[in-house]
Structure formats: structure tokens, C-alpha cells
Amino acid sequence: MSVKQIIKKCEQLYNDIDLFYVQEWKEKHKSRAIGFMPVYVPRELIHAAGMLPVGIMGAGDLLEIIKGDAYFQSYICHIPRSTIELGISNRLDCLDGMLFPAICDVIRNLSGMFKLMFKDMYVKYIDFPQNFLKTLGGNFYQHELRTMSDDFSQINNVDVNRDDLNRSIKLYNENRAVIKELYDLRSQNPHLVPGSELYLLMRASNVLEITEYTALLREYISETVCEKRPQRDNIRVVVTGVFCEQPPLALIRALENSGCFIVDDDWMLGARFILGDVALSNDPINALADAYLNHTVCTASKYDQDGNKGAFLIEQVKKAKAEGVIFAAPSFCDPALLERPMQQKALNRENIPYTSFKYSENTGQFQVIKEQTGTFADSIKLWGDS
Ligand code: SF4
């Protein structure tokens, strides 16, 4: 496929809020599908049980909220409203379960609501360790993983063994390696991998079966390096704070059109959450737990026991040779906004410029944001080295 065809396919998946791909996959494989909310879930466990992991990132700006608002107070983010709307409009009926990984009270409450409202569905709130000692948090998390793995075996009526788990871990390792290759390529040649294209490719991770997804990314990489695209006089920025409720696609395009090359980000972070490979071993559950404890990104989406807030962001900036940071957070997103002062402090120490705005997944007005980030880009171009 050409780059255009690959991106068109990803855009179709992005727009597929009725989950037709999932329905077809289930029909074809005579199997089941388990949904999950952002940010990170160990998809390997779902895959090893022969099921399809399906990321549900709300409905963005693709669905009018008719009843979803009635379930929530005004002053919280938008993603739970559209997720409930997806549920009550029967768009999630093809899912046999939903996972709610601990990130904030909103997600915790949403998991409770799903339990009450969708009684035929397996609903699990995943607690992640906040203590990173192998003997404490590690043991606790292994127990969570084993419980989930047993549940998935039961749901799909299969016996998941060590080889199944290792096979899935290997496929997800390969996938993360290709995603890293894609991100490295963009960082080195941002004009070859526009942010909006990368975003659509990452969104495809929500539904595509992992081998199909890895192959698609490989195809994109080999095609896009042959594309003739204009070099642009844009500044290089890291976008951060977008790990849960996702910005609308048009907002990403607006950022790029305002003169910014996005050279790193934290959208669709779950697919990049583990850094490097999970070990293939005699005890794959232990390996998954070890990867979570010791080899994951350290953003606002994960409890940081060292209190070294902002260090990961500085590392992102330096690695990507970024000239500035754009803080983009969903309105009322506690995890992103509470982390911000510490991150800003770290940037101030390093003399790295930043700007910030808030959005909601269904934001429709981008002009003000575009002018703001455009001015930010101009100021870096004019005074960045002074
Ligand atoms: S956007 Fe922020 S506040 Fe809302 S559910 Fe996600 S992490 Fe929680």
C-alpha cells in the first residue's frame, strides 16, 4: 500500500466508533474481544487467551453526547461522557469485557458505572502498584496479572500456558520495537512523518490485531522514506499531557500548521508504556510485572516514587532535540494538571521554553490555540538562541 492508502485505512479505523473491525474480527476468528480504557493495560494477557484487545479512547468529536452528560457532574473531563454514550448507544456490545486501568477517580467511577450498567460484561478495575519493591508492589501486581489471565482463560474457554504468554510477549516486543523505529524516524526527519499521520498510525493500535498492526507500521516506514515531502522551517516541540483523553485529529493538524514539528509526544502512551523488551522466560507473569516496575515511561500517568518529577520530560526533550514543550491537557484532567508545576519547574531549570493550553476531545475551535502555538514557534525562531 502507498502512504496515502495506509493513512486512509488508519483514518477509517479511527472513525469506526461502531467497532465494525472488531465485529468482523470476532466473526472471522470465532473469538472474543476485551476493551480497555487509557492508559496502559498488559494487552499480552488478552492476546495470549486468543482474544482481541480493543482500546476505547472515548468517541472524540465523532459522537453527539445525548445522554452521557446526565451521568456526570459538569467539572470533569469529557472522555467518561462519550464512553458512557458509546455504551448506552450499544456501540460497545461487541466487547466481552472492559478494563479500567487505575489513573484517576474518573476512571475508577466509570468502572463502577460499567459494572452496574452492563451486567453481561466482564468489568475489571486494574490497580497498579504504587510501591516498586519486587517483594511488595511486585507481588501485588503479579497477583493482579494472574487473576486477569485466569479470568481471560475462563471468558474464552481456553487454557493459557507459558508458551502462549511468551508468544504474545514476543509479538508485543516486536511491535514496540517498530513503534520506536517510527518515532526515531520522525524525530530525525519530522517532515517525513507528519504528526497527524503518526497519530493515526498509533490510533490503529487500538484495534488492529498485533501482527497485522506491526506489518502495517513496517510498510508505512518503508514507504514514507521514499516520499518527496517539503522541508519546513518549523520548530521542534514535545507535546505532553495527552496520555488519556485524546485531542481531536484536527487539533493535531492545527499544531503542525502553526509551525511546529512534533518530535515526541505522549498520546496513545499505552502502546509505548513499556520501554524495551519484556523478557521471555519460564515465568512470563513475573516478566510482565518486572517490566512494569522497572522499565516503563515515567509520566504523570504513573506514580513516581523517586519524586523526580519532570526528569522524564527533560530526557524526552533532549533526546528529540526539541526546542520547546507544549503542555496540552484535557480540561479538568487532574493527573496531567497536578503534575504540571513540577514539570514546569524542571523546564525552567533547564531553560527550555514552554506554552500550554487545554482541550477536550470534542473541541471544535482551534484558531486561538493555533495562534498561541504559532506565536510560540515564532518566538523560538526569533529569540530561541538568545
Ligand atoms: S482525562 Fe485525565 S481526569 Fe479524565 S479520565 Fe483521563 S486521566 Fe482521568
Question: DSSP characters for 282-349?
Answer: S-HHHHHHHHHHHSB--STTS--TT--TTHHHHHHHHHTT-SEEEEEEETT-HHHHHHHHHHHHHHHH
How far does the centroid of ligand 1 lie from the alpha carbon of residue 230, in Å? Answer: 37
Q: Among 82, 106, 246, 302, which is best to mutate for testing ligand 1, by the most ligand atoms less than 8 A from CB?
A: 106
Q: Is the CB of 244 under 6 A from ligand 1?
A: yes
Q: What is the mean pLDDT of residues 36-42?
A: 96
Burial category of 257 from C-beta neighbours within 10 Å (exposed 0-12, middle 13-18, buried 19 and up): middle
Per-residue confidence (pLDDT) for residue 176, from 0 to 100: 98
178 Cβ neighbours under 8 A, 6+ residues apart: 214, 217, 218, 221
Q: Is the CB of 300 under 6 A from ligand 1?
A: no
State the chain's mean pLDDT as an integer.
94
* Cα 16 to Cα 115: distance, rounded to the nearest angstrom: 25
Q: Is the CB of 330 under 6 A from ligand 1?
A: yes
Per-residue confidence (pLDDT) for residue 190, from 0 to 100: 96
The secondary structure of residue 274, as a DSSP letter, is B
Per-residue confidence (pLDDT) for residue 385, from 0 to 100: 59
How far does the centroid of ligand 1 lie from the alpha carbon of residue 244, in Å? Answer: 6
Q: Is the CB of 334 under 6 A from ligand 1?
A: yes
Per-residue confidence (pLDDT) for residue 72, from 0 to 100: 86
170 pLDDT above the threshold of 90: yes
Instruction: Give me the amino acid identity at 184.
Output: D
Q: Is the CB of 77 under 6 A from ligand 1?
A: yes
Q: Is the CB of 255 under 6 A from ligand 1?
A: no
How far does the centroid of ligand 1 lie from the alpha carbon of residue 4, in Å? Answer: 33
Q: Which of 53-67, 187-201, 206-220 has the lowest mean pLDDT?
A: 53-67
| Strands (E) located in the chain | 33-36, 52-55, 97-101, 122-126, 235-240, 260-265, 324-330, 354-359
How far does the centroid of ligand 1 lie from the alpha carbon of residue 329, in Å? Answer: 9
- Kindly state the cell numbers that stand for 159: 487454557
pLDDT band at residue 241, thresholds of 50, 70 and 90?
very high
Query: For residue 38, which atom of ligand 1 is closest to its CA?
Result: 6
* Cα 165 to Cα 5: distance, rounded to the nearest angstrom: 33
How far does the centroid of ligand 1 lie from the alpha carbon of residue 355, in Å? Answer: 21
185 pLDDT above the threshold of 90: yes
Integer CA distances (angstroms), 316 to 236, 238, 345, in order: 12, 7, 16
pLDDT band at residue 67, thresholds of 50, 70 and 90?
confident
How far does the centroid of ligand 1 lie from the alpha carbon of residue 245, in Å? Answer: 6
Per-residue confidence (pLDDT) for residue 50, from 0 to 100: 97
How far does the centroid of ligand 1 lie from the alpha carbon of residue 132, in Å? Answer: 23
Per-residue confidence (pLDDT) for residue 286, from 0 to 100: 97
Per-residue confidence (pLDDT) for residue 384, from 0 to 100: 76
Q: What is the pLDDT of residues 116-135, one digit of tens each?
A: 999 999 999 999 998 889 99
Three-class SS of residue 276?
A: coil
Query: For residue 77, which atom of ligand 1 is closest to its CA?
Result: 4
Nearest CA to ligand 1 atom 2: 333
Query: For residue 244, which atom of ligand 1 is closest to its CA?
Result: 6
303 pLDDT above the threshold of 70: yes
Per-residue confidence (pLDDT) for residue 308, from 0 to 100: 80
How far does the centroid of ligand 1 lie from the alpha carbon of residue 11, in Å? Answer: 24
Q: What is the pLDDT of residues 322-377, one digit of tens each?
A: 999 999 999 999 999 999 999 999 999 999 999 999 999 998 888 999 999 999 99
Q: What is the mean pLDDT of residues 149-160?
A: 97
Q: The pTM is what?
A: 0.95
Pairing of strands 235-240, 260-265: parallel
Nearest CA to ligand 1 atom 6: 244
Q: Is the CB of 103 under 6 A from ligand 1?
A: yes
All structural domains of the chain: 16-161 (3.40.50.11890)
Instruction: Give me the amino acid identity at 14.
Output: Y
Q: Is the CB of 104 under 6 A from ligand 1?
A: yes
